[in-house]
Structure 1
Amino acid sequence: MTDLLIRNAHLIDPASGLDTQKDLLVRDGRIAAIEHPGSFTALEVQDTIDAAGLVLAPGFIDVHVHLREPGQTWKETIATGTRAAAAGGYTTVVAMPNTVPVNDTVESLTWMLAPERNSAIHLLAMSAATQGSMGEHLTHYEALAIAGAVGFTDDGKPILDDHVMRAALVVAARLGLPISQHAEDTRLTGGCSMNAGPVAFRLGLRGMTVEAESNIVERDIALLREIESDEGLRPHLHVQHVSTAKALSAIRQAKQQGLHVSCEAAPHHFTLTDEALEGYNTNAKMNPPLRAEADRLAVIEAILDGTVDCIATDHAPHAAHEKEVEFERAPNGITGIETALGLALRVLHREHGLPVAHVVALMSNNPAKIVCLKDRGSLAVGNYADIVLFDPAVEWTFAAAQSLSKSKNTPFDQSPMLGRVHATISEGRIVHRH
């Protein structure tokens, strides 16, 4: 590996509290030193980046992406999805297990994480919480953890059975890993394709109520409380893509009571409402669905007050022919890994006053804590040199046609963005340069 010197950067590292001008030296794929600007002038390095006017931050970490491999490689592959992630400033992503077949064994997990998949950045994965993600029998958590699983989830499906969810939380707690729950009571959402409300009524579509999300969150929190009391364990529940005020209220209260609950918010849920589905726009169809304005504002409030731990994209690529069908037949999900920073800075920073350093924390240090990464997510000397350089002030327009993802299913085509990634460095390698 070549040495790399990044000069004149505005370094933001939430873990250490640094928010100032610095030079940073990368050596052998790790952060070797951080000094005042000009301190390395006598040093001989093979590569130098003048980062004047740019923010230098820990590489972003996304704890919730769908890379579609194996089984659906016409939508995305690990190679294409991670290249798109690098373009968005990400240096680590966590792949969900709803592949074909489901990633529920040591063999499938090992295959996914193998170098032959040609991941452009650091790839992690959560394994299925139950066999085949059918919600009935737990997978082999201990063996999967040894093989590299950073948590367990049936993402795309909830664990509905109380006894199965309780058992999952107990076993994962003993391993120190989270259960990541897709909070949807599917007994209430059959035949539903969007949020319940005036827009659904106008479009003639059956809608999902907010209780379909909040009921599962409240059930899971009750199980946490019960397990702590009965077992003396402290399970970690991570709630995926929270989209409703009611669910966020339950999470906020659980945190105040000291329960180990974390949650993520997706950029589309703090940016758009169900009004984006007018005209039966399938590129705005997702699960959980886009909600009403009151819920959008509740997600933003929860980000501002610290209830939301991290931003996760739920990057869910689908081919054009799959989305270009009748609305109710179209699959749920949108791409999002290249637009997360631009939307977060535009909506959270510029419109709602969230400091840039807090945006960085939501996309780096905080998600690192959720999946227990010890040497990533901060710019500590000795850590892997996972770094993003971005201009927080530049305005630009996202063009889906230029996306590095295989799929272009996004509601943000031609949308304004604030803040652009200039370079992404993964373990000392420059993996993307604008």
Structure 2
Amino acid sequence: MKQNLTLTNIRRPNSAKSETLTIENGLIKGWNLPSEGETIDGNGATVAPALLELHAHLREPGQEVKEDLASGLAAAAAGGYGTVVCMPNTSPVIDDPALVRSLIQKANGLGFARLRPSAALTKGQAGKQLAELSLLKEAGACMFTDDGRTNEDARVLRLGLEYAHSLGMVVSVHAEDASLRADGVMNEGPVSEALGLPGNPAAAEAARVARDLEIAALTGARLHIQHLSTARALDLVREAKSRGVPVTCEVCPHHLTLTDEALRGFDPIYKVAPPLRTQADADHLLQGLLDGSVDCLATDHAPHTRAEKEQDLLHAPSGIAYIELAFPLMYTRFGETLGLEKLLDLFTAGPARVMGWTVPTLEAGQPADLVLLDLETARKVEPQSFKSKAKFTPWAGEELRGWPTLTLVGGEVAYRR
């Protein structure tokens, strides 16, 4: 039986009142009850449901030099996340039910964030033959995706969506037309032209989003579009939603806070896929958060070794690892614009709605997956202290507010600063 726990001197979002929250057997027992078990002083922090991450690369199995379950889930807990959906583009690919079960079993013994593996839509993520989707769901896979690969064969994607729909599952897609993207390493535009680097046009994303939306409309299946980066693609999603297509989408903080101008120094730390776009794109995505066109925020946490990221822009891999500072980054940059309630929704209820999970709340009887957030104290980003193996970031040295001080998963301490 899990221990009882009482959190004192905490505040609900947008409240100045100091309260007490009691946890019993992994569930929220209630507010302002007599203390039970261990007492933790929240020091005036704001309590919220633990964050949900739908898009993280934890690199296990086979790429543990970049990240593993222990480091990745510890990093997630330090970032305030209670649940993480990991991507299947590992080595071997997560397309085997036995592998799904083993990852869940290992993660359950670590005591950090909860793991919900996604599984490959196609065998080996090769885009040719559907994986054993029913068996993967039975093993514990929560989503199907060939993330890291674009689904080039429209018929295979149609079949995958139809099969997933029959299982009540979501299919998420990396929506880029590979032939239009070609060898582009950054956004195609004035900056890429000035630097003499091959560009990846916004049309590559928009063209593939348009195709995938038509397939979703045809099948009636739940389609989730990952890491939207362009204004045009968001407009396509907005229009599809208006006519009832069952589509959701996510945006990553790096596409809101960075632009292709960051590449002028030729630093591969800014190389991501899809690439950083223009300020106009970033502004349009932010508007999508405000008007509800964007369903949730996701990090696309993508750790690499320092040696890999220190190659030149043509050869360095794409990806930024920052699951530990996603909330502070968004709160510091856009807390006033979005408001705390909306921002928390994008990190918690939004992802839950995408997946069809119960929307987390702070009500009695709910699972005690909670995070305490210090919204007042500014702290510098110190990559050397990251739990992740990728101890470097574009935001190193920046002062942010909104840092998690405590993360509970099922009423157990997963992170404590």
Alignment of 1:5-404 (within 5 A): 5-12=6-13, 22-33=19-30, 35=31, 39-40=32-33, 43-115=34-106, 118=110, 120-227=112-219, 234-350=220-336, 353-374=337-358, 377-404=360-387
1:414 counterpart = 2:397: yes
Distance 2:377 2:239 in 1: 38
Q: Scaled by the length of structure 2, what TM-score is found?
A: 0.96
Q: Cα offset for 1:290?
A: 0.5
Whole-Å separation in 2 of the counterparts to 1:143 and 1:20: 49
Within 2, Cα distance between the matches of 1:81 and 1:119? 12
Q: What is the CA RMSD across the aligned residues, in angstroms? A: 1.7
1:230 maps to none
Structure 1 gaps, min length 5: 228-233
User: Deviation of residue 44 (structure 1)?
Assistant: 4.6
**CA-to-partner distance for each residue in 1:275-295, whole Å, 9 max, x for gaps?**
111221111111011001111
Distance 1:360 1:81 in 2: 22
Alpha carbons 1:193, 1:207 under 8 Å: kept: yes
Give, in whole Å, the separation in 2 of the partners of 1:200 and 1:326.
Answer: 15
Q: Could you report, residue by residue, the CA deviation over 1:216-270 in whole angstroms, capped at 9, with x for unpaired residues?
A: 111111112222xxxxxx3111000000000000111111112111111111000
C-alpha distance in 1, partners of 2:111/2:251?
25
Q: Distance in 2 between matches of 1:180 and 1:47?
A: 41
Q: CA deviation at 1:49?
A: 2.4
Structure 2 gaps of 5+ residues are none
C-alpha displacement of 1:427: 0.8
Shift of the alpha carbon at 1:418? 2.3
Cα pair 1:133 1:157 within 8 Å, conserved: yes
Q: Determine helix, strand or coil for the equivalent of 2:314.
A: helix
- Check 1:184–1:20 CA distance in 2 against 1; reply closer, same or farther (3 A cut): farther
How far apart are the structure 1 equivalents of 2:97 and 2:38?
A: 40
TM-score, normalised by the number of residues in structure 1? 0.92
Give the length in aligned residue pairs: 415
Q: Which moved more, 1:403-412 or 1:212-221?
A: 403-412
